[in-house]
Structure 1
Amino acid sequence: MKKNRKFFMTLLVSMSILMLAACGGGGSDPAGSDNTSNDTGETITLRAATGLSDQHGWWTAFMVPWMDRVEELTDGQVQFEGFSGGELVEVGQEPDALKNGTIDVAILVPFYHENMFPASSITFLPVSHTDEFISGEALRKLMESDVELGDTGKSYYESHYADNGFFSLTLNAGAVYSISTTGYEFNSVDDVEGISMRTPNLLFELMAENMGVNSVSMNIVEAFDALNRGAFEGIFHTPADWTGAGFQDLLTYTIDDLFLGSSNGVFAMTQETWDSLPSEVQDAMLQAHDELYEDGIQEWIDRADAARSYNMEEADGQFISFNDLPEEVQEHITDANVQTWYDYIEFLENNGYPGKDIAILWRDIMIEAGGEVPEELMDLENY
């Protein structure tokens, strides 16, 4: 009898635990999902969003095809509801929207949130040569690097995304940045100094200061109206993204072969959401990412070519090689670019992040990927 009483008591406790778990003790499903158990094979509905335009390359050339491919690989078990252009979440609100459950998947522009992602502008450090595939490979290597930075014991990914509760995958590095103006030409150092230009993040503010350029900081969504009303004369940006922002008819003077790094984006979900997905769904998402990564990079190249053709033929735009600028202008900009590396290192170090270590890592990754940096930067270890 004692044995039987013990058995029934154990059974009663077990049933109580199971009932409690069924009533909601085990964590939340992704927002919008209609499944009660993610490993049952029932449909998983995920809301994906970006504040960027629905014409932006990260959305049309990567996120949309990625969502379609995941739905295909999971035989429809995963379904996405897509929102772009600020329809559900405005630019800059994506991290909060992920954390409060408004959305499940988002394009993050990390360098708009440097308090959260402190060294995310690292990919914009100016170099002597890069291209879209070099930058894309370098960014992916940075995200996958296990190099411990400083005395933190953490990699770039850990300190930026894991520590903030995000599971993130690389979109791609976007296209290479340069300088474009509404017709203002750089024929002398005096032409460079004093011009006003839109800057997308702190690193470009440092670069602008070193060039003698007046900096006007704002995100890309706000920049079109400001440029159109003459609030500034030029932008640090890439022709590949002109159509996504509406710049193709406004900018008529662009410096080619000026390798001011590349933007970087990720698409992310909370680690909790990622962990809640069945392993076969996770595998499908990773497979779709790998399959589409280079296609996303190629899209930026194609967009840049199309923007150049349109701009020259329809807007009387001109593209001038950096190497054809007056020598004094080349030297002025090159010196400013090298100084920007040192200033960015110092800024990060002053704010508690191992700036020297991340700069050395990025330099080495860029070179490994096929890029080139100014000779002065090969001795950063002794800086």
Structure 2
Amino acid sequence: MAACGGGGGGGEGGGEESITLSYAFFAPIASFPGVQMEEWAERMDECTDGQVEVEFFPGGSLLGSGDIYDGVSEGVVDIGMDSPAYDVGRFPLSSAVSLPVGFTNAEVASKTFLDLLTEYEPAEFDGYEIVTAFTTEPAYLQTQQPITSRSDLSGRELRAAGAGVPALQALGASPVGMPMPNVAESLQTGVITGYMSSREVLQDFGLAEQVSYVTDYPFGISNSFVAVMDEGRFAELPEDVQQCIQDLRPEMAEFASQYHDQDNVQPALEWAASEHGVETVELEPGEQEAFDETLSQLVDTWVDEVGGDFDPQEVLDRVEELRDQYSAEN
């Protein structure tokens, strides 16, 4: 992988040699973060007048989830996109956006997340230039039997990840950790009877064939994504290319989240209902308040226990302030 075809220059500006940037991600290119990758490459091509070409390594073909950021630091790849939501210990400030604090869509959560990273410049991303950051919509229960109360959840084995694990535990379920590509087989074999995730997976992973119900209760956001470059590698790029990358950072957060909300989730729900009869069910009377109370305690626990070089309550207050601001605009 040639990271740069003579297009260095230590940031001193505008050489005309072509530059090839390798870009790794752990999920398929057809996933909505993969669509974002392709759109970013097109916009970089336009912004740099064709000077930058992007070489994709999706689907874990070069680096798997959890290895991507280290691969960027080690020069295995120029740009890497991974999910901080999978590793709260390594990304404590990023985990704030995964808390059940009332995000209703990906656009509001994504804009909040990017602002949070830009304002606080957390130590968890020291040594990296953030290319962009965005999130999914909230996570929902998607199950083989309807879940309309806490009693329905009692002891039930459901796939979850990140902040979804303590949420399910607090509500009485038995969360099971596994990669999303393993969920379909685990549903077929009875290892699990459902999962917690954003709802595009009904179509993207074909899971509407294995589940019959979606519980209409949003938890915290299902997943977050941050694409990064090594700071040293970024500094080698011509200044005009650096500027394009920085200018595209908020554009791509908005593009990815709007695509997810409008062109990814809604069509998946309609397809799941029309092709496989998947039903959306409501919580029983009084259960929403009970769910809300249980999850609010998880937020309090995060404030008390999260590690990092920041004030957790201050960060949480800022998350809620940005959520309200972008919700009003949205």
Normalising by structure 1, we get a TM-score of 0.78
CA distance in 1 between counterparts of 2:321 and 2:153 reads 31
* Partner deviation per Cα, 1:119-167 (whole Å, 9 max, x = no partner): 322222113452232222212221222xxxxxxxxx2x33221x2x111
**Distance change (3 Å), C-alpha of 1:191 and 1:263:** same
Question: Contact conserved, 1:200 with 1:217, CA < 8 A, in 2?
Answer: yes
Structure 2 residue matching 1:327: 3-state secondary structure: coil
Gap runs ≥5 in structure 1:
1-29, 146-154, 372-383
Cα distance in 2 for partners of 1:127, 1:290 equals: 22
User: How many residue pairs get matched?
Assistant: 323
Instruction: Tell me the equivalent position of 1:79.
Output: 53
Matches for 1:176-187 after TM superposition, within 5 Å:
176-181=138-143, 183-187=144-148
Tell me what 1:232 maps to: 192
Q: Please say if 1:271 is aligned against 2:215.
A: no
Instruction: Identify the residue that residue 50 of structure 1 maps to in structure 2.
Output: 25
Give the Cα separation in 1 of the matches to 2:5 and 2:253: 30
Partner AA of 1:173 in structure 2: T
> In 2 relative to 1, CA 193–353 (structure 1 residues): closer, same or farther, beyond 3 Å?
farther
2:312 matched residue in structure 1: 355
Q: Which residue of 1 aligns with 2:294?
A: 336
Task: Indicate how the Cα distance of structure 1 residues 70 and 367 shifts in structure 2: closer, same or farther if over 3 A, else same.
Answer: same
Mapped to 2, the partners of 1:361 and 1:286 lie a distance apart of 23
Unaligned runs of 5+ in 2: none
The one-character-per-residue Cα deviations of 1:256-284 (angstroms, maximum 9, x if unpaired) are 24243352211111111111111100122
CA contact (8 A) 1:134 1:370 kept: yes
**2:4 partner SS:** coil
Q: Could you give the per-residue CA deviations for residues 303-327 of structure 1, whole angstroms, max 9, x where no partner exists?
A: 1111111111111100124xxx212
Distance 1:219 1:361 in 2: 31
Q: C-alpha distance in 1, partners of 2:207/2:298?
A: 26
Change in Cα spacing, 1:218 to 1:360, as seen in structure 2 (3 Å) is farther
1:297 is displaced (CA, Å) by 1.7
**Is the 2:26–2:82 contact (alpha carbons within 8 Å) kept by the matching residues of 1?**
no
Describe the SS at the equivalent of 2:192: coil
Distance 1:128 1:76, change over 3 A: closer
Q: 1:299 to 1:248 in 2, by over 3 A?
A: farther
- Look up the match of 2:181: 221
Q: Secondary structure at the match of 2:141?
A: strand
* More helix, by proportion: 1
Pairwise CA distance, 1:364: 2.3
Residues 167 and 268, structure 1, Cα contact 8 Å, conserved in 2:
yes
Structure 1 position 196 matched with structure 2 position 157: yes
Compute the displacement of 1:65 (Å): 0.8
Moved more, 81-90 or 110-119: 110-119
Q: Aligned residue for 1:306?
A: 267
Cα 1:193/1:90, change in 2 over 3 Å: same
What is the SS of the residue equivalent to 2:122? Answer: helix
Once residues 188 and 176 of structure 1 are traced to their aligned partners in structure 2, the CA distance between those partners, rounded to angstroms, is 19
Is 2:148–2:281's contact at 8 Å kept on the other side of the alignment? no
Match for residue 92 of structure 1?
A: 66
